[in-house]
Amino acid sequence: MNNKALAGVIVIVVLAILTFGILTMPDQRSTGERVGDAIDALPEGPGEAAEQLKKRTPGERLGDAIEDATDRE
């Protein structure tokens, strides 16, 4: 394997580790921020507002946003 290929593999591994770390880090929002997010989500229904009060990782929040964006009723 040449140096360019090795450097490419190292970059991909580092990016994968960083992405995993960001998506699994604990919820850093304060109680006030969670309440504010819940108030903003009230027009979507009380269930969505209550969900904003839970401590969720950024990955979980991203998954919920993707699910909400793809829901077709």
Tell me 25's DSSP state: S
pLDDT at 15: 96
Verdict on whether the full-model pTM lies above 0.85: no
pLDDT at 16: 96
Handedness of CA 33, 30, 38, 55 (dihedral sign): positive
Domain ranges of the chain: 3-70
* pLDDT 10s digits, 8-64: 999 999 999 999 998 899 888 888 998 998 999 898 888 888 888 888 888 888 888
